[in-house]
Structure 1
């Protein structure tokens, strides 16, 4: 064998390995660090410092902030009941790893407190509460004529989805989490689709390309099944139709117009597309302002921000498969609107909900808004009452009715 002939190819191979190392080692290191950050005992820090791990896009605060009137913090009720089990309120707040709790009634802050590193100006990850912001932006985009109507199909705006699970699926079905797309949303399963999505996102992959790989499972508009990528597709449509990023559109149409006190940031992939389904980071009181906007039918101090008819349609159940106890729903006990959850009840309540117990709860009957940020280490334990949304709702209802 003539080793002289191998000398130049070996150098080329070495150069290739060096280039690959330069490109990929930082990304791999970042992914390893993020996996460590998402360990249950690190969540308290991670959830208020997501910008340490993932690229972001900045949302500027309002020039003239809206400030809720407030009173001295009320004394919280000592206990509340869920299915004949009594819970100590303070223990429940602590044992659900609460970082921020805000209770507003009749447009006045009744109670506001922070724990575990969060403060009033801290930007906390919204997780899936961001979906409700995307819904609001969608309604605005329709009102402004960028999007014709929700009976149009995805591929009319995104032809790259031809042949995918979103081909010929109506926008309405995506808004109502009824796309028919096959997807496993189980965060506790390391091999689930949602975790595959997250792995790609952290490694710098394209969310758009990931969405195009999904396949159909059942006829659209027949079954309510939560698929986070549905919201990403809504975000893609907004960007394509308006020609603006989600960040810019949010800042222009909502953030500054409702007087948000602090800036925010949206997590984004390496291609600049925001994580529409859960990447918004904001302060507790600014999250509450979305609740106030919807409580007032999209009107903010005399200015109609989100169309009132869009609000009405967003927070009611219009199809049988969206009913809380429908056999055609994967989420028993909750109804679903346009990216808003609708609990069983008679008071018109609706909620934005994110994993690890993030909530914007709105009760129109009692004129109540409650926001809770959490970093619940027990979230994956389905038997733990301190991670249960159903138990949280009873806490919120206790607060909403405590003055009666």
Structure 2
């Protein structure tokens, strides 16, 4: 069960939009998802069509009392197929005052304790955090292994996220465990040079921390929230649906367990001879082509030499990698969209059922 906090202390960056629609995309790929609304504004609850005022028990009841408190599974609501919701309400804002007399560890472990008692039926737990570093955020981070930071493609937002990352580093030291942090560019308008330049700065600044997927501005995302649905259920072909589907694939492919398994394989191989492996991708219209696989932790073009040439009307991307003998899975990322290798018909199902190309190194 992967527990992921969606965090940004700046409002309006797409935090709740990401929490709800990433849950929808993961569920559409067959995963069981629990969405925890840790924001007293209850926007994730509202975005799934549930009125916080009509709920008799919510997350506050689970976290506020150790004795006589309902278990987390007793307050869950089935929001849609394969998505359950731990709802919030404005009363959650009183949690910090309620627990003021408790020791720090007791106050910040409430959500982690509640999750540990939950039956292990979920593949992903997504936590929509409030737009502030507070006791609620502390609880979310302590319960998580991973963090997604939605980042609006603007310079002020970049400055704010740099400060947030510094804060997260201090919090990780304080709570005593590491978090895998990824940056997800949001609210992207590729029609403007400003947005394209800013996205380039984000990628240059955050490098491997940055998702290759980008969430474009799309009115269907707002319409879906108004209808109380993830966008994939309202508009299956909308840009918002496609972007969160790509993010879900990238997230599933880069799971820590897969990366750890790869590291163990590399360690066991020791000093085995690595081979230079060259593969090419040909396309007349693509502007950006990267490769990601279990050989580089599913981070596009990490540890890969990339060369671009022109052959008539086509552009040819050559990818050069040093790999030990074995079998690897990979996909291309072409202009932000994940796809298999069109020149390789050897496929295998990935963790979410999507096809991955297979590379054999002898």
TM bucket by the smaller chain?
A: under 0.3
Question: If the length of structure 1 is used for normalisation, what is the TM-score?
Answer: 0.22
Question: If the length of structure 2 is used for normalisation, what is the TM-score?
Answer: 0.24
Greater RCO, CA 8 A, separation 6+? 1
The structure whose Rg is larger is 1
